[in-house]
């Protein structure tokens, strides 16, 4: 079995828990996920199976879509509702929809974020959350991310509203919520989060564990899987002929054709089938070398 299982991850499970459960259901070892979702977050989590485990790095490097709730008046040490409260302020005059829109405009396009202390970013070989648990503060490196879309959806009440976000990989939605709240003049945190899409996979494509168990029981496993090709539509590609296919499948370095993409890495296809992922050779720009080769036998 080779392909991507578009899982709707439930709350209460880690991404690794989901991988272990899929391994058990499918009785397979080659299973991996494409980007961690926190246990209290539910949403789209692509699970790669068999040969598809080779494309995990290329699925993590995609746009992500989220729906998040921003709670005003309360900030926490983890920037979400799971953390200890560090500041509260009564909301006497809630911001208007126009005031919120004016602030959201400031966060579209390239923005700079400082990763939260409770995150897996490493500083001096140690994860930030490890420093946080030891009450040790370290300077955190800034990172640039891109916000493609940021729209207000609805108000729950005077102190909470929802936003829809489309962003580049590496974006911390928790931090985005806190920064939006600060711009509005309030302490804030992210109180809810749903990932509604990652790359070419959206919520409509997903299966719950209940769906998966029913189809596995009916021996209809393959109905759960998306093809490797359908999940790499964000990558550029070149087409090759049947003769070159054999060299590709043997993992050979090849002359880089003129029509090859300038950006690395890129796909090599025969018709619609993805044979491999290649990149420009670091020592010779006229040569391309394999990064991943897929065995379709």
How confident is the model over 265-293, as a mean pLDDT? 93
How would residue 42 be classed by pLDDT, with cut points 50, 70 and 90? very high
Residue 101: alpha-carbon gap to chain centroid: 26
CA 243 to chain centre: 37
Query: What's residue 271's pLDDT?
Result: 87
- Average per-residue pLDDT for the chain: 91
Torsional class of 79: left (φ above 0), alpha (ψ -120 to 50), beta (otherwise)? left
Contact 175, 23 (CB under 8 A): no
Compute the distance between CA of residue 197 and CA of residue 206 in angstroms, rounded to an integer.
10
pLDDT for residue 9:
97
Q: What pTM, to 2 d.p., does this model score?
A: 0.88
Task: Evaluate whether 68 touches 193 at the Cβ level (below 8 Å).
Answer: yes
Query: What whole-number distance in Å separates Cα of residue 257 and Cα of residue 136?
Result: 52
Residues 43, 98: Cα–Cα separation, whole Å: 29
For CA atoms 174, 176, 177, 182, the dihedral sign is positive
- The catalytically annotated residue of 38, 155, 205, 264 is 38
- pLDDT recorded at residue 214: 95
C-alpha–C-alpha distance, residues 291 and 55, integer Å: 10
pLDDT band for position 71 (50/70/90)? very high
Confidence of residue 156 (pLDDT cuts 50, 70, 90): low
Among 13-17, 119-123, 212-216, which stretch is predicted with the lowest mean pLDDT?
A: 119-123
| DSSP string for 133-163 | HTT---PPPPEEEEEEEEEEEEEEETTEEEE
pLDDT of residue 132: 80
Of 4-13, 148-157, 217-226, the one with minimum mean pLDDT is 148-157
Residue 35 region by backbone torsions, left for phi larger than 0, else alpha for psi between -120 and 50, else beta: left
* Catalytic status, residue 38: yes
Please check the confidence at residue 115 and state whether its pLDDT lies above 90.
no
What percent of the chain is modeled with pLDDT above 90?
Answer: 68
Q: Are 26 and 49 in contact (CB under 8 A)?
A: yes
* 147 has pLDDT over 90: yes
pLDDT(122) > 60: yes
Please report, for the chain, how many H helices and E strands are present, in that order: 7, 18
What confidence tens digit (pLDDT) does each residue in 212-265 have?
Answer: 999 999 988 889 999 988 899 889 999 999 989 999 999 999 999 988 898 899
Give the Cα separation of 53 and 45 in Å (integer): 14
Mean pLDDT of 43-57: 92
Domains of the chain from N-terminus onward: 3-62+200-230 (3.30.2350.10), 64-196 (3.30.2350.10), 235-293 (2.30.130.10)
At CB < 8 A and 24+ separation, what contacts does 90-95 make?
91/158, 91/159, 91/186, 94/158, 94/159, 95/184, 95/185, 95/186
Q: Is the pLDDT of residue 22 over 80?
A: yes
Q: What does the pLDDT read at residue 297?
A: 57
Q: How far apart are CA 212 and CA 22, in angstroms?
A: 9
Q: Give 296's pLDDT tier (boundaries 50, 70, 90).
A: low
């Amino acid at each position: 079995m080779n392909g991507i299982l578009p899982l709707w991850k439930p709350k209460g499970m880690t991404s690794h828990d989901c991988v272990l459960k899929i391994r058990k259901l499918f009785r397979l070892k080659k299973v991996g996920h494409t980007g961690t979702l926190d246990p209290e977050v539910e949403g789209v989590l692509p699970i790669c199976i068999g040969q598809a485990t080779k494309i995990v790095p290329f699925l993590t490097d995609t746009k992500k879509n989220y729906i998040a709730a921003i709670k005003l008046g309360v900030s926490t040490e983890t920037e979400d509702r799971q953390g200890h409260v560090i500041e509260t302020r009564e909301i006497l005059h809630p911001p208007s929809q126009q005031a919120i829109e004016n602030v959201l405009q400031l966060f579209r396009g390239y923005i700079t974020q400082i990763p939260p202390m409770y995150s897996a970013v490493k500083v001096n070989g140690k994860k930030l959350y490890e420093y946080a648990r030891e009450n040790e503060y370290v300077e955190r490196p800034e990172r640039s991310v891109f916000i493609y879309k940021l729209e207000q959806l609805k108000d729950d009440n005077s102190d909470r509203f929802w936003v829809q976000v489309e962003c580049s990989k590496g974006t911390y939605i928790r931090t985005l919520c806190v920064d939006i709240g600060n711009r509005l003049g309030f302490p804030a945190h992210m109180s809810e989060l749903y990932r509604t899409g990652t790359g070419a996979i959206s919520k409509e494509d997903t299966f719950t564990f209940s769906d998966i168990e029913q189809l596995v029981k009916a021996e209809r496993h393959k109905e759960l899987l998306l093809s490797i090709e359908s999940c790499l539509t964000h990558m550029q590609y070149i087409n090759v002929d049947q003769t070159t296919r054999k060299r590709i499948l043997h993992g050979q370095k090849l002359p880089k054709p003129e029509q090859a993409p300038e950006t690395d890495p890129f796909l090599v296809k025969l018709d619609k089938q993805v044979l491999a992922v290649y990149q420009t050779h670091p020592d010779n720009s006229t040569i391309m070398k394999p990064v991943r080769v897929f065995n379709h036998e």
